[in-house]
Amino acid sequence: MEIIRSDRLSNLPDSIIHEILSRLDDTQEAARTCILSKNWTHHWKYVHSLSFHHESFKTGILAFEEFILHVLQHRQHSINIRKLRFFLGAKQNQFLINCVFDHAMMRQLKELETDVYSFPPSLLESRALETVNYGAPNGGFIVPSNSMNFARLKNLQLTGLHIDCNDLFSSCSNLENLRLTDCRVSNTEILNINSPRLVQLIITDIRYDNGLIIISGPKLKRFEFKGIYNPHNPSSVLEIRSKMNEVKLEMRYPLFSRDTNNVKEFQDFIIPLTQSVQEHAKLFNLTFNFYATRVLSKQWRYHWTNVHALNFECSGFRNRFAFAYFVTNVLHHRKPRLNLVKLRFYYGNKGSDRALMIRVLYYADISNGVRI
């Protein structure tokens, strides 16, 4: 049976075999196929994606570096490189870095994932590179201020990095999508995120103990902010200076239990948010959580009545009667002249209430532009 399978795979067109090998997680695995038969001796040399990770080499860093140089020397040089995954860990050889990046840049590299913290000029000046995923979850190294001067980059993700420059992205003039995940900002009172072509910005679990994040961009349409590292420090504030279609904040925090301390701690954080955030943001996934903000202070008593999207889920209520009472109360008190843009309504496995469903659908029908 194994021989039959081998024959079937070998009978595939070379282009399909090369595509399969290019999609393997590690180039080392692709190179090992050379031992299958004489027909497979050279297939690995035609892959369009390279993946080098130091953790995959148990024999040590020297063997890892020798393998990379072997691949660069023997692969088919006429084949462009669409994607490069290149992770060196703590021990980074600048000669090897230059060899890998120079080879990739000469072959129109489009997508890069790496933890390398010293980019050669050939990478920054690339006209083909469109996507960079930079860093590692446990990296924690500082991003050099001159490392983000990408001329043509459209998509950038930074993970687990330390940012100490207040205007790190200003040189990325073509940047359209930016994602910051588990990063830390320090040594600057203001972090400016501004790019003339930025369309989407997603910030997840950023640690910024004392400072202001200013977000602006004439084409910015979508902004997401997920998680708070230090909710007890109200000095960390967002300021949005652009009108956009969607702003979403998700505070992963013990929201609104009856414990007075929990409410006070959340109030200490939420009250200082600038008016621009309060006006734009859908602060919570569920309408119930936004409704609960009325207990924070007099200032927040009626904010929930201005929401332009409603999200009802029965699963969070003790029974369907409590759910029906809450939904009816929201529909009754929400500002009637405010158009409803989006409605999500889920009953789950707690049965259904036909009268409530009719009431909700009627409410949606008289609200112009609603998306259900």
Q: Rounded mean pLDDT of 263-291?
A: 50
Residue 327 pLDDT class (50, 70, 90 cuts): confident
Burial of 156 (0-12, 13-18, 19+ CB in 10 A): buried
What is each CA distance from 298 to 194, 302, 338, in whole angstroms? 34, 8, 21
Q: What pLDDT is stored for residue 318 in this prediction?
A: 77
Does pLDDT of 281 surpass 50?
Answer: no
- Tell me the pLDDT tens digit for each residue of 195-240: 889 999 998 888 776 677 888 888 888 888 776 544 444 445 566 6
Q: Rounded mean pLDDT of 164-172?
A: 80
Q: What pLDDT is stored for residue 82 in this prediction?
A: 92
Does pLDDT of 364 surpass 70?
Answer: yes
Displacement of CA 25 from its chain's centroid (Å): 21
Residue 60 pLDDT class (50, 70, 90 cuts): confident
Does pLDDT of 84 surpass 70?
Answer: yes
Q: Tell whether 319 is covered by a domain.
A: yes
**Cβ 319 vs Cβ 294: under 8 Å:** no
Q: What pLDDT is stored for residue 155 in this prediction?
A: 94
Q: Report d(CA 105, CA 107) in Å as an integer.
A: 5
Higher pLDDT, 371 or 283: 371
Backbone angles phi, psi at 131, to 5 degrees: -135, 130
Q: What pLDDT is stored for residue 23 in this prediction?
A: 80
If we measure between CA atoms, which residue out of 284, 287, 279, 222 comes closest to residue 253?
284
Q: Tokens 């904010």 belong to which residue?
A: 303
Q: What pLDDT is stored for residue 113 in this prediction?
A: 92
Q: Tell whether 342 is covered by a domain.
A: yes
Residue 254 pLDDT class (50, 70, 90 cuts): very low
Give Rg (Cα) of the chain: 26
Does pLDDT of 330 surpass 60?
Answer: yes
Q: Tell whether 115 is covered by a domain.
A: no
Q: What pLDDT is stored for residue 242 in this prediction?
A: 67
Q: Tell whether 52 is covered by a domain.
A: no
Residue 251 pLDDT class (50, 70, 90 cuts): low
Residue 370 pLDDT class (50, 70, 90 cuts): low
Q: What percent of the chain has pLDDT over 70?
A: 70
Which residues share a beta bridge with 222? 200, 246
Tokens of 346: 């889920």
Across 205-209, 247-251, 274-278, the highest mean pLDDT is recorded for 205-209
Tokens of 301: 């008593």
Q: What pLDDT is stored for residue 3 in this prediction?
A: 47
Range in 160-164, 219-223, 368-372 the model is least confident about: 368-372
Residue 83 pLDDT class (50, 70, 90 cuts): very high
Backbone angles phi, psi at 71, to 5 degrees: -65, -45
Across 50-54, 252-256, 281-285, 341-345, the highest mean pLDDT is recorded for 50-54
**Cβ 183 vs Cβ 163: under 8 Å:** yes
Beta strand extents in the chain (DSSP E only): 49-53, 83-87, 111-114, 131-135, 155-159, 162-163, 177-181, 184-185, 190-194, 200-204, 207-208, 212-216, 222-226, 237-240, 246-250, 309-313, 342-346
Query: Dihedral angle at the C-alpha atoms of 194, 198, 200, 205, nearest 10 degrees?
Result: -30
Q: Tell whether 34 is covered by a domain.
A: no
**Count of Cβ atoms closer than 10 Å to residue 3 Cβ:** 7
Q: Tell whether 336 is covered by a domain.
A: yes
Q: Calculate the average pLDDT of the chain.
A: 75
Concatenated DSSP letters for 219-234? T--EEEEE--S-TT-T
Tokens of 298: 């007099």
- Tell me the pLDDT tens digit for each residue of 125-134: 788 889 999 8
Q: Tokens 């007099």 belong to which residue?
A: 298
Q: Which residues contact 370 (CB under 8 A, 6 or more apart)?
A: 339, 340, 341, 342, 343, 364
Higher pLDDT, 4 or 365: 365
Q: What pLDDT is stored for residue 156 in this prediction?
A: 92
Does pLDDT of 186 surpass 60?
Answer: yes
Domain that holds residue 295: 286-372
Q: Tell whether 185 is covered by a domain.
A: no
Number of domains in the chain: 1
Q: Tell whether 82 is covered by a domain.
A: no
Burial of 135 (0-12, 13-18, 19+ CB in 10 A): buried
